[in-house]
Amino acid sequence: MRIHSASRAGLCVLAAAILGAALVGPVAAAAFPEKAIEIIAPANPGGGWDLTARSTAKVLAEEKLVTQPVTVSNMPGGSGAVAISHVVTKRKGDGHLLIAASPALTFTLALKRVPYTYRDVTPIAAIATDYGAIVVRKDSPYKSLKDLLEAYRKNPADVSVAGGSAPGSQDHVKFAKVIKAAGMDPTKVKYVPHQGGGEALASLLGGHTAAASPDMSEIVGQVEAGEVRVLAVLSEKRLGGSLKDVPTAIEQGVNATYILWRGFYAAPEISKEAADFWVTTLGKMVKTEGWKKTLQANKWFEYYVGGADYARFLAQDLEAGEALLKELGFLK
């Protein structure tokens, strides 16, 4: 049977179209992310949010979990208030953006410093947990938590406390919980806020404040270098490893703990494809050897919850944060 040349040309075009469709299909499905990825750390360099953002960017790249470059931007202000306002008002629908979050943001929302809640963004996942700590300089006259609390009992104004978040937010709450558990008034804490844990640590080391209430991961290097003394870690048990000699507040008779999650949210109104990609990709990341090394280096602990479960978790965290702030006298 002969096929007319015009027919042959038509068949060629049809075949090319079919082949093209076959090739385009999977490429389109795997297209996201199509451009560079930005991770926002809502504080200055050196603190917990910065560490979360940069550690994640590093592992995502090294484990080849993303095909596009990842950059980290610092956007300090109001313990996450500036960042979430920026994302909600200026980055709507941007699926190539992740923003570091923790209970510091929860308290910012609970105090209504911005007109938003977690419902106004896209929750992605929590990826690790950390613990709060109470620290002083290595040459501090306070040799134990008991010493610090006795000084506070005599005159709260003598015990200035540096933190990397706004008044009434995470670092303030950590110290206030310890004071309340010791039977004293947490509203009298002389709290000195900074734009991130790095600045708070500099304040402590510079002698401008008597103590600080950082996340444990923010000060691991200074602890191992002998620059600071940890009076108490706010965990139920000692953390072990290079921190095995650091006592808990509980074992010193003060029943105060502070566990904090580390995670990410994304902009509002991003595509389902983008949201699913990030939930799945961060879920893969926390199983990698690179992430396990990160946990060990930062003294973080394994924890992952993503997607709808994370959204429910955040709603509960906000409710619990509001209750705690009322209990401590920071919220009416």
Residues 246, 157 share a domain: yes
Each residue's pLDDT tens digit, 158-169:
999 999 988 998
Q: Is 315 exposed, middle or buried, given 0-12, 13-18 or 19+ CB atoms closer than 10 A?
A: middle
Residues spanned by the domain of 56: 37-129+260-327
Same domain, 123 and 266: yes
Residue 137 belongs to some domain of the structure: yes
Verify that 175 and 278 share a domain, yes or no: no
Tokens coding 112: 């209504």
CA 126-248-56 angle, to 5 degrees, is 25
Q: Are residues 108 and 151 in the same domain?
A: no
Please give the Cα distance from 268 to 266 (Å, whole number).
Answer: 7
Establish if 26 belongs to a structural domain. Answer: no
Asked if 124 contacts 259 with a C-beta cutoff of 8 angstroms, the reply is no
Which of these three, 206, 229, 259, is where a domain ends?
259
- Of 228, 236, 224, 243, nearest to 299 by C-alpha is 243
Rounded Cα–Cα distance for residues 210 and 161 (Å): 6
138 in the same domain as 125: no
Residue 41 has pLDDT above 70, yes or no: yes
Both 247 and 299 in a single domain?
no
Q: Which of 233, 259, 285 represents a domain boundary (last residue)?
A: 259
pLDDT tens column, 146-156: 999 999 999 99
* Strands 70-74 and 37-41, sheet pairing: parallel
Tokens of 24: 């385009």
Q: Into how many domains does the chain fold?
A: 2
Write out pLDDT tens, residues 63-74: 999 999 999 999
What are the two backbone dihedrals, phi and then psi, of residue 39, each rounded to the nearest 5 degrees? -115, 125
Task: Give CA–CA dist 173/191, Å, rounded.
Answer: 10
Whether residue 242 sits in one domain with residue 173? yes
Express each pLDDT in 96-129 by its tens digit: 999 999 999 999 999 999 999 999 999 999 999 9
The angle, 0 to 180 degrees and rounded to 10, between the axes of the packed helices 197-205 and 48-62 is: 130
Residue type at 141 in one-letter notation = P
